[in-house]
Amino acid sequence: MPNPLIGLLFHWLGGLASASFYVPYKKISRWSWEIFWIVGGLFSWAFAPWIVAGLRTHDLFGVLGATPTDTLFWCWFWGLLWGFGGLTFGLTMRYLGLSLGMAVVLGLTTVIGTLGPPIFDGSLLHLAQTASGGATLSGILVTLVGIVLVAKAGKSKEAEGAGGQGGGVAEFDLRKGLAVAVFSGVMSSCFAFGLAAGQPIRDLTLAAGTDVLWQGLPVLCVVLVGGLTTNAIWCGWLIFRNGSLGELVGRVRDGGERPPLLRNYLLAALGGTLWYLQFFFYTMGESQMGAYGFSSWTLHMASIILFSTLWGFALKEWAGTSRRTRSFVWAGIGALVGSTIIIGIGNALAGGAAAGH
């Protein structure tokens, strides 16, 4: 029997992992971006998913071998497109700044990733006409309000720090930034479509005797291979162009110091594994959300923004800002927390209605 409250807890743990994964990366020294990104990515997209799925599910390779080819293709394909969203996310920050860029990308990702599956399968109108569906959709709307408030706080913070158009963003370009942000937001939402396309894999892994809680792990393996494909091609090109391959074995570039290899590898492994854990907990949370599993994407995005903002306070990023700016932050955090509660109530109502029949 699904338990939406336990599902909420898992989604919050996933958001905490996602908001924390870059902290170890910031401690890596004397490695180019493409080197630490692909090393950490191998743990995120290859090692951790397959090891964990192999340990927690039954007959992983037998299940995937029995999966229809078109299901495997679509899971991989949506993961491939999601990879483009991640790669262009950095450009969004470059042209719009952190606050405005995050608002546009995560707002689009939340709406498209959450509402896309029920729109495609034709169930959205029916959901909106039920009390549980109305509550869940209201929670999604409150999530967007929270995103806007946090973004407004970030924009106010930038303006207080630097002033002027662009709020301290050196390469601020609204037109170019919005175009990249829309592309990144749409592509990033494709992860949700990849997970939705993997339902036949879930059915097969449950039939093989896997516990309901772990049914989504084999789907992650396939979707993340798609993300690995995109990132490996791009990082490979950067490594070729920049001649940075030797950094993997400690080669010194431009007369600098030798990179601390063991420390860098351990930090990249930690960061990459933390990144994977966001979707490890996501699949666990999704398994507990009952009839409205599609709302998991909203909970995931809300928890990422929530914990990312709290990390900002912990790292003193909001020190020296005005009371007005901080009030926007806390109002946004309150809205995000409230949205998860509302969505949880909607899922609980759906579970109660199903039990009543």
Q: Which long-range contacts link 265-268 to residues 24+ away (Cβ below 8 Å)?
A: 265/39, 267/24, 267/25, 267/27, 267/28, 267/36, 268/24, 268/25, 268/28, 268/36, 268/39, 268/40, 268/43
| SS3 call for 102 | helix
Q: How far from each other are the two terminal CA atoms of the chain, in whole angstroms?
A: 14
Mean pLDDT by 10 residues, the chain (357 residues): 79 87 87 92 96 96 97 97 85 64 68 70 76 81 82 75 49 72 84 91 96 94 97 95 93 80 96 93 84 71 79 74 86 81 70 48
- How high is the pLDDT of residue 60? 97
- Supply the DSSP symbol for 21: T
Report how far residue 111's alpha carbon sits from residue 188's, in angstroms, rounded to the nearest whole number.
Answer: 11
Dihedrals φ, ψ of 11, to 5°?
-65, -35
Task: Please check whether residue 275 is in contact with residue 228, taking contact to mean a CB–CB distance below 8 angstroms.
Answer: no
User: Quick count: other Cβ atoms within 10 Å of Cβ 31?
Assistant: 22
Q: Where are the domains of the chain?
A: 4-349
CA 177 to mean position of chain CA atoms: 20
- How high is the pLDDT of residue 159? 75
User: Quick count: other Cβ atoms within 10 Å of Cβ 275?
Assistant: 22
From the CA atom positions of the chain, what is the Rg in Å?
A: 21
Report how far residue 283's alpha carbon sits from residue 53's, in angstroms, rounded to the nearest whole number.
Answer: 12
Report how far residue 2's alpha carbon sits from residue 42's, in angstroms, rounded to the nearest whole number.
Answer: 33
Report how far residue 264's alpha carbon sits from residue 244's, in angstroms, rounded to the nearest whole number.
Answer: 15
What pTM does this model have? Answer: 0.78
| C-alpha triplet 249, 225, 44: angle, nearest 5° | 55
- How high is the pLDDT of residue 52? 97
CA 345 to mean position of chain CA atoms: 23
Report how far residue 195's alpha carbon sits from residue 202's, in angstroms, rounded to the nearest whole number.
Answer: 10
Q: Which alpha helices (DSSP H) does the chain contain, by range?
A: 4-20, 22-25, 33-42, 48-56, 60-66, 69-96, 98-120, 124-128, 131-162, 174-188, 190-197, 199-207, 217-242, 261-286, 296-314, 323-356
